[in-house]
């Protein structure tokens, strides 16, 4: 697959560069060679020169999996949504400081009773094929997503709309039966689809999923399944044209293979794991010199979650004991090589929603033992494991197979819990099997997993007691009327200050209740070749890829140009 | 025995296996560190006087883990082959002695088992059960008895035609007496060779399963899962992949050499005699 691509687009400077480096990699595998594999390149200075913005060029990135469809709102996969974000617009977007701004919408108004939102579209919007983009398209997309037959995983937020209407081509109005604060975020994530292409078609089988038509900066040019997706600049983009002509997303599932391609200069950007960032790249100065590396705190966290419906996890003292027995900093240092931070609330630290008064549970084995003793757990038979009523405190930790970071996390947790007399077994399961056979039926003791969060603070689906049916997100079985009430209030409140108070209180209750152990929030690490210029520095809160349409690749630094030299 | 020691292949194999077995047996006494002791302040250290084989991604001493991992790998090899040999010998003896429909049924069963790619069968079974050392040993044992069955059956087919067996049949000896007293001891030579070679492939299978995460579960070490952990760091921490790889290589080589040597020693047509 890689060979075909390189020959077709002449990506390699020297045709032999990639195979020869691959050989070196094989030699490394058997441990015979341990030298740097970088071929001498243009000196770092060559890529350090900066140029004015100019259109043209091709940016090649790697993504780990092939989307099944280009309609992300229906497929519900991150790969589809990621490609979709180049093709389709939303009504609203987040600006660089994560405040809401208009994208297709010129303005929007929340009515006084907070139950109606009126969007006014920008004038003269059009699809890539020249047909006008109107409020009818938005109404159509809403109808499509909320249609029972579509089975969209994102339907629930949009189903709260009791009535949507498009009185004229530039006005779109939605009515809710009660105020719903996350609504604005939901309209910032709805990718608007063209009615004239999709009306009357079966959304599950339509060819549009393979040949989409959008209105955003890029449109699909070529898609070779399992190999690459090639996007081409959309000259009619509603937000004005992007700089870079072509984007190629190569599908390379294995991070190690991605890295080899980055080293061979066959891709321009990839996201890295902590080992690549902290150890491998620094050991290759020639490679490091031609890369810009970005480190930003991700909007996600890893946790040890308990099945609260099972004994002894229904006992707060046991949960607290486990929380105190785990050294989170040790996990961050050992597993993430220091590239993470401890957290005390389910929000990204430093954002408005994260409660600054909460301090992460410390590592305190003495306190852990004390809590265990209070809960009635003592080591009565001297086997090193505490017991209560003749039953020893022993449970199984599940995590997904192949996620080395989580596996290592589980091993560290196991070791620390053993020290306070808690016996654990680790079981790694393939992701799909973990979800269908254990998480959905609620058949587990504890899990090491992660939550990726949206930008809106609403976490109703994770924590509300009504969200415990099989397949829903509150699979740990958390049931707290105080939290339920706060989550409901948070959805009704539009004022950011008041919402902040609500979610700070929510985080505080969770903190006291310790339904799961927050392990860490990790950094997102991205490497981008220095030939790509115009990247916002320092990285804005919205992330490194914010405003990527303004990136450009100066003529002298483009691949074809290098080849011609 | 003297002939075995004179055979260079067998002798080399014996020495290799001897050293590895000794190290594995003495692991609790010679390992300098607790194999599961995590030390995140000293992760991925290169081999040195302090850590002979360096440390892994969680700061655990690789040399200590290799020693304890060796116990797992060798135990799995021995027990799995023990199981397969017992099954193989019994079924082979029944088929070879009774012939007729017993033979047909058993040999068709062998054919069926041989037609299934055993590694994938093992993968499927382990995925269905939960991965653990016990399951790995049992499953490997239950899927690798076929060659022993065939060997024993072939030996029995010829042995039952020999005069001393016919004589005991004529004297009215019971079936079990003929099978266990007369035929089995005389058919053990090829079985011994196949047992030794079988251990080698069982060690490899266990490493393969652990490498895929379906064998020995963390934190317990086995050569296979030390190797997997090393895969992540192979770009700069070669010691995590080299040493377990070498250990597997040496062990498998040792058993194969010993097996080949034994075959040479026992085979009357062998030219090395």
H/E stretch holding A275 reads helix A274-275
Mean confidence (pLDDT) of chain B = 88
Q: Which residues of A touch B (CB under 8 A)?
A: 28-31, 34, 256, 259, 275, 279-280, 283, 330, 333-335, 337, 401-402, 404, 407-408, 410-412, 414-415, 425-428, 430, 433
Do the Cβ atoms of A334 and B130 come within 8 Å?
no
Tell me the pLDDT tens digit for each residue of A293-315: 999 998 889 999 999 999 899 99
CATH number for the domain spanning A285: value is 3.40.190.10
Label each residue of A468-511 as H, E or C.
CCCCCCCCCCCCCHHHHHHHHHHHHCCCHHHHHHHHHHHHHHHH
User: What residues make up the domain containing A456?
Assistant: 300-523
Verify that A232 and A378 share a domain, yes or no.
no
Tell me the pLDDT tens digit for each residue of A72-104: 888 777 788 889 999 999 999 998 888 889 999
Q: How far is A29 from chain B (nearest CA, A)?
A: 7
Mean confidence (pLDDT) of chain A = 86
SS3 B68: helix
pLDDT at A45: 67
A16 vs B229: which has the higher pLDDT: B229
Contacts of A165 (CB under 8 A, 6+ apart): A139, A172, A173
| Residue A398 resides in a domain | yes
Tokens of A466: 């009504």
Please name the member of A30, A407, A412 whose beta carbon is closest to the beta carbon of B38: A412
Do the Cβ atoms of B213 and A414 come within 8 Å?
no
The region of weakest confidence among A188-202, A241-255, A516-530, B181-195 is: B181-195
Verify that A490 and A466 share a domain, yes or no.
yes
pLDDT at A513: 94
Q: Which residues of B touch A277 (CB under 8 A)?
A: none
Tell me the pLDDT tens digit for each residue of A537-561: 888 888 888 888 999 999 888 886 4
Verify that A425 and A450 share a domain, yes or no.
yes
Q: Left, alpha or beta for A10 (phi > 0: left; psi -120 to 50: alpha)?
A: left
Find where tokens 């020290």 sit: A419
SS3 A148: helix
Please name the member of A29, A34, A415 whose beta carbon is closest to the beta carbon of B36: A415
Question: Among A151, A168, A198, which residue terminates a domain?
Answer: A198
**A192, pLDDT greater than 50:** yes
Mean pLDDT of B205-215: 85
Verify that A501 and A363 share a domain, yes or no.
yes
Question: Among A168, A198, A228, which residue terminates a domain?
Answer: A198
Do the Cβ atoms of B44 and A427 come within 8 Å?
no
Tell me the pLDDT tens digit for each residue of B126-176: 878 877 888 889 999 999 899 999 999 999 999 988 888 889 888 888 888
DSSP codes of every residue in B72-96: HHHHHHHHHHHHHHHHHHHHHHHHH
Mean pLDDT of B221-242: 86
Q: Which residues of A touch B220 (CB under 8 A)?
A: none
Q: Which residues of A touch B127 (CB under 8 A)?
A: 430, 433
Report d(CA A185, CA A157) in Å as an integer: 10
pLDDT at B70: 92
Tokens of A333: 């240092």
Exposed / middle / buried, residue A548 (Cβ in 10 Å: 0-12, 13-18, 19+):
buried
Q: Which residues of B touch A275 (CB under 8 A)?
A: 232-233
Verify that A318 and A439 share a domain, yes or no.
yes
Verify that A233 and A379 share a domain, yes or no.
no
With vertex at residue A61, the alpha carbon angle to CA A275 and CA A197, rounded to the nearest 5 degrees, is 135
Q: Which residues of A touch B123 (CB under 8 A)?
A: none
**A19, pLDDT greater than 90:** no
SS3 A338: coil
Mean pLDDT of A228-233: 95
Other beta carbons within 10 Å of A150:
18
H/E stretch holding A232 reads strand A228-233
State the total domains in chain A. 3
Tell me the pLDDT tens digit for each residue of B52-71: 999 988 889 999 999 999 99
Report d(CA A6, CA A408) in Å as an integer: 37
Q: Which residues of B touch A282 (CB under 8 A)?
A: none
pLDDT at A401: 79
Q: Which residues of B touch A427 (CB under 8 A)?
A: 130-131, 217
Q: How far is B169 from chain A (nearest CA, A)?
A: 55
Find where tokens 């992460």 sit: A360
**B26, pLDDT greater than 70:** yes
| Residue A472 resides in a domain | yes
**A4, pLDDT greater than 70:** no
CATH number for the domain spanning A391: value is 3.10.105.10
Report d(CA A437, CA A90) in Å as an integer: 36
My answer on whether omega of the bond before A538 falls inside 30° of 0, hence cis, is yes
| Residue A77 resides in a domain | no
Q: Which of B40, B210, B234 to mutate to test the interface with A (most CBs of A within 10 A)?
A: B40
pLDDT at B268: 64
Report d(CA A61, CA A529) in Å as an integer: 10
Verify that A440 and A475 share a domain, yes or no.
yes
Report d(CA A176, CA A165) in Å as an integer: 12
pLDDT at A30: 35
CATH number for the domain spanning A145: value is 3.90.76.10
Report d(CA B38, CA B53) in Å as an integer: 16
Question: Among A144, A165, A198, which residue terminates a domain?
Answer: A198
Tokens of A62: 């790697």
| Residue A80 resides in a domain | no
Tokens of A37: 């594999």
Most confident of the ranges A154-158, A381-385, B233-237: A381-385
Q: Which residues of B touch A (CB under 8 A)?
A: 36-38, 40-41, 43-44, 57-59, 127, 130-131, 213, 217-219, 229, 231-236, 238-239, 241-242, 245
**A466, pLDDT greater than 50:** yes
pLDDT band at A6 (very low <50, low <70, confident <90, very high): very low
Report d(CA A288, CA A282) in Å as an integer: 6
ipTM for the predicted complex: 0.75
Report d(CA A89, CA A539) in Å as an integer: 23
Cβ–Cβ under 8 Å, residues A240 and A55? no
| Residue A78 resides in a domain | no
Verify that A189 and A244 share a domain, yes or no.
no
Tell me the pLDDT tens digit for each residue of B87-116: 999 999 999 999 899 999 999 999 999 998
Do the Cβ atoms of A279 and B44 come within 8 Å?
yes
State the angle between helix axes of B100-115 and B146-159 in degrees (0 to 180), rounded to the nearest 10: 150
């Amino acid at each position: 697959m890689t060979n075909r691509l390189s020959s077709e687009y002449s990506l390699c400077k020297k045709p032999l560069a990639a195979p020869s480096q691959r050989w070196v990699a094989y030699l490394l595998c058997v441990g015979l060679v341990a030298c740097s594999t970088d071929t001498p390149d243009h000196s770092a200075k060559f890529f350090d020169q900066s140029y004015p913005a100019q259109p043209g060029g091709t940016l090649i990135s790697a993504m780990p999996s092939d989307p099944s469809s280009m309609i992300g709102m229906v497929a519900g996969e991150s790969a589809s949504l990621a490609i979709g974000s180049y093709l389709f617009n939303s009504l609203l977007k987040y600006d660089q400081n994560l405040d809401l701004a208009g994208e297709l919408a010129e303005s929007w108004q929340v009515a006084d009773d907070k139950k109606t939102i009126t969007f006014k579209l920008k004038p003269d919007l059009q699809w890539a094929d020249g047909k006008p983009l109107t409020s009818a398209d938005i109404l159509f997309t809403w109808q499509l997503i909320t249609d029972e037959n579509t089975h969209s995983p994102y339907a629930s937020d949009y189903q709260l709309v009791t009535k949507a209407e498009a009185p004229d081509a530039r006005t779109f109005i939605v009515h809710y039966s009660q105020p719903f604060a996350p609504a604005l975020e939901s309209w910032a994530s709805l990718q608007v689809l063209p009615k004239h292409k999709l009306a009357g078609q079966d959304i599950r089988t339509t060819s549009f999923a393979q040949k989409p038509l959008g209105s955003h900066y890029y449109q699909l040019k070529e898609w070779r399944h399992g190999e690459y997706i090639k996007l081409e600049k959309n000259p009619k983009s509603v937000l004005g044209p992007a700089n870079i002509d072509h984007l190629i997303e190569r599908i390379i599932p294995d991070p190690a293979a991605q890295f080899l391609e980055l080293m061979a200069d066959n891709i321009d950007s990839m996201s890295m794991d902590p080992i690549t960032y902290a150890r491998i790249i620094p050991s290759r100065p020639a490679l490091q010199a031609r890369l810009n590396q970005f480190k930003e705190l991700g909007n996600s966290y890893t946790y040890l979650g308990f099945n609260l419906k099972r004994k002894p996890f229904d006992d707060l003292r046991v949960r607290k004991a486990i929380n105190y027995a785990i050294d989170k900093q040790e996990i961050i240092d050992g597993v993430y090589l220091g590239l993470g931070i401890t957290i005390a609330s389910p929000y990204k630290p430093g954002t408005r929603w994260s409660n600054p008064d909460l301090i992460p549970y410390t590592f305190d084995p003495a306190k852990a033992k004390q809590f265990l003793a209070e809960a009635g757990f003592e080591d009565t038979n001297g086997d090193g494991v505490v017991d209560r009523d003749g039953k020893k405190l022993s449970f199984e930790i599940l995590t997904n197979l192949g996620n080395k970071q989580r596996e290592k996390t589980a091993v560290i947790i196991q070791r620390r819990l053993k020290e306070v007399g808690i016996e654990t077994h680790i079981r790694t399961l393939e992701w799909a099997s973990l979800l269908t056979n254990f998480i959905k039926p609620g058949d587990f003791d504890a899990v090491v997993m992660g939550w990726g969060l949206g930008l809106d603070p609403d976490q109703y689906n994770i924590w509300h007691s009504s969200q415990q049916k099989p397949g829903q997100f509150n699979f740990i079985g958390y049931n707290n009327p105080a939290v339920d009430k706060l989550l409901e209030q948070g959805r009704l409140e539009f004022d950011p200050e008041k919402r902040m108070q609500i979610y700070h209180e929510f985080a505080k209750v969770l903190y006291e209740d310790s339904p799961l152990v927050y392990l860490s929030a990790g950094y997102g690490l991205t490497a981008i070749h220095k030939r790509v210029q115009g990247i916002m520095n320092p990285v804005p809160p919205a992330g490194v890829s914010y405003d990527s349409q303004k990136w450009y690749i100066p003529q002298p630094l483009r691949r074809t140009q290098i080849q011609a030299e | 025995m003297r002939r075995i020691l004179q055979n260079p292949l067998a002798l080399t194999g014996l020495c290799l296996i001897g050293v590895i077995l000794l190290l594995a047996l003495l692991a609790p006494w010679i390992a300098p560190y607790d194999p599961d002791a995590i030390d995140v302040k000293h992760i991925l250290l290169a081999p040195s006087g302090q850590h002979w084989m360096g440390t892994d991604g969680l700061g655990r001493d690789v040399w200590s883990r290799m020693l304890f991992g060796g116990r797992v790998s060798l135990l799995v090899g021995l027990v799995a082959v023990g199981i397969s040999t017992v099954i193989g010998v019994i079924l082979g003896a029944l088929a070879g002695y009774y012939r007729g429909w017993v033979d047909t049924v058993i040999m068709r069963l062998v054919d069926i088992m041989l037609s299934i790619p055993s590694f994938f069968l093992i993968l499927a079974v382990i995925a269905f059960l939960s991965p653990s050392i016990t399951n790995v040993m049992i499953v490997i044992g239950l899927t690798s008895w076929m060659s022993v069955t065939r060997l024993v059956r072939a030996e029995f087919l010829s042995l039952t035609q020999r005069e001393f067996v016919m004589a005991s049949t004529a004297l009215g000896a019971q079936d079990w007496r003929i099978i266990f007293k007369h035929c089995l001891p005389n058919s053990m030579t090829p079985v011994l060779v196949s047992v030794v070679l079988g251990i080698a492939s069982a060690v490899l299978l266990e490493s393969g399963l652990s490498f895929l995460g379906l064998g020995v579960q963390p934190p317990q070490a086995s050569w296979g899962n030390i190797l997997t952990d090393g895969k992540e760091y192979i770009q700069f921490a070669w010691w995590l992949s080299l040493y377990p790889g070498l250990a597997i290589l040496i062990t498998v080589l040792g058993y194969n050499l010993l097996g080949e040597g034994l075959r040479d020693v026992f085979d009357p047509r062998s030219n090395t005699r």
